[in-house]
Structure 1
């Protein structure tokens, strides 16, 4: 598979191929059967567990429809208009949307980034030598979080470095051509670059655990009208997740096929993710027994979100759809 194909497949934090949006548009425009739950997910390992669940018959097509809207922006627009019911998003994307007035509720936890988001530099540059250097990064919530954590670890501010905005499809080409001294990127782009011996990893999301998380976010309307289906969706997701955690050979091949990579490439990508199970999700969605509230406060500070526009954490998350086994 070419590098270009990989970039097009995994740009979950930017607009994906225009064709996916065009294909999804008719699905949103037509009249849906009563009770059909519409779920938006990008092409990302944690999100595509839903496709694996559908393969196993756990998400019947007369009850669930999986849609790829191609970008977080398009997904949030569809949520705001109630064109979809549930979306796979990063935690920071949900918080930013809530700060902008979109009342989303987190109903499930998908994964944490444990090295899938990385900072790469040309050897021998290290994190201690970033002063005055140019850092390329993708503008947006996750890029902003990684930049903040990187500079904090290097004891620097944005005044000490030069910043260059670069879209994910240009990460590898512009960085390897020498436009930046360091690059904030993510898998599988990172692995492609690191195959070249002149580059090295100098920081990763493994050093800031819990901050970069992917979640299921739902509209209040879906919560009110589709409770049983939301429970079934989450049950199906965590059943598929268990197959991958157990390295079930056929399921690994199926998920790799959905992601357009081979099983070996998938294993490399999964090494940078913590695919959480039902119990971990239940703990995370119970603020009094977890670090969730602290994580959300930290992200709001990093993203400079206005506390006055945000409800209490217990109003933004719920474990009610995880507490019923089917």
Structure 2
């Protein structure tokens, strides 16, 4: 089992005021590659890249970060050619590829293992009791994926329920106003609603290895940024090692970007599994579990009308940018 660290942060919660901000470190003149631009919004699994930046572990590489407000914004930056890589969820990568973006996953940041939650009214005690009820869910690939998994787990179809589109900023209001009977959500919204009497129906532990946060790179640009991409990936693993060896120190260093007090920053990782280098090597094998999950997710998104065509998944993953096993 992959080690669990603990997210008390909205799954795709945004840090206000950071959108569109580019940060470029000082770089030695000997680095011959063009600058690598990477888009990312604030999310615990992505923050070890920024820890590496702050600690100076990326100073030798021409890497600049476009700090966005959402994954949608990051994906748009990829499409527009403003960045060559972005931190996204697997389902978002698949949607980008369906739109013609040649994306390859070179790193798995984290896997949801309880960070995505299904809450219900107290009278709904089992998933089967969702039949005939109103389910609030975000209109996105991730929302559709969670809904499909929840209904499958309950032995129901979309025809058995009423789907109510609710944006994340409206989750609490929709719940308090009685507009939904069940809500697919994430922290910290889930904790707030649980304290007000909501029932924890199930979470992403019920369908493991479904929601992956990954680093995706445009394969048509990767050839010009091999060294920088390898340094970025190595920086993430160096940050992960620091988090595991000295969690309190790492927490205080991560706190500002997460918008949390230092003594609460570790809670930002609840429900997330952070794969080490060895797990990444397995996940990014062409026949590994990420490839298997991608096939299943493609079918789910196609059935929900969120993908126009089936992805053959060729070139979806690569472990070529991972540090060698000895590092």
Q: Residues 11 and 169 of structure 1 are in contact (CA less than 8 Å); yes or no, is this contact kept in structure 2?
A: no
Q: 1:221 to 1:251 in 2, by over 3 A?
A: same
2:157 matched residue in structure 1: 157
Q: Provide TM-score, normalisation by structure 2.
A: 0.86
Q: Provide TM-score, normalisation by structure 1.
A: 0.87
Cα distance between partner residues in 2 of 1:157 and 1:104? 32
Q: 1:46-94, CA deviations, whole angstroms, 9 ceiling, x for partnerless residues? A: 1111111112111228621121122223222221232111100000000
Partner of 2:201, secondary structure, is strand
Query: What displacement does 1:269 show?
Result: 3.4
Cα distance between partner residues in 2 of 1:150 and 1:299? 14
Q: 1:1-326, aligned counterparts within 5 Å?
A: 10=10, 12=12, 16=14, 19-23=17-21, 35-60=34-59, 63-126=62-125, 127-196=127-196, 198-263=197-262, 265-288=264-287, 290-304=288-302, 310-313=311-314, 315-324=315-324
**Uncovered stretches (5+) of structure 2, i.e. residues with no partner:** 1-6, 25-31
The number of residues matched between the two structures is 309
Q: Which moved more, 1:49-58 or 1:109-118?
A: 49-58
Query: What displacement does 1:277 show?
Result: 1.1
Q: Residues 188 and 269 of structure 1 are in contact (CA less than 8 Å); yes or no, is this contact kept in structure 2?
A: no
Cα distance between partner residues in 2 of 1:185 and 1:61? 40
Q: Residues 131 and 160 of structure 1 are in contact (CA less than 8 Å); yes or no, is this contact kept in structure 2?
A: yes
Partner of 1:46, secondary structure, is helix
Partner of 1:78, secondary structure, is helix
Q: 1:38 to 1:22 in 2, by over 3 A?
A: closer
Partner of 1:58, secondary structure, is coil
**Uncovered stretches (5+) of structure 1, i.e. residues with no partner:** 1-5, 28-32
Query: What displacement does 1:11 show?
Result: 6.1
Give the superposed CA RMSD: 2.5
1:30 matched residue in structure 2: none
Structure holding more helix per residue: 1
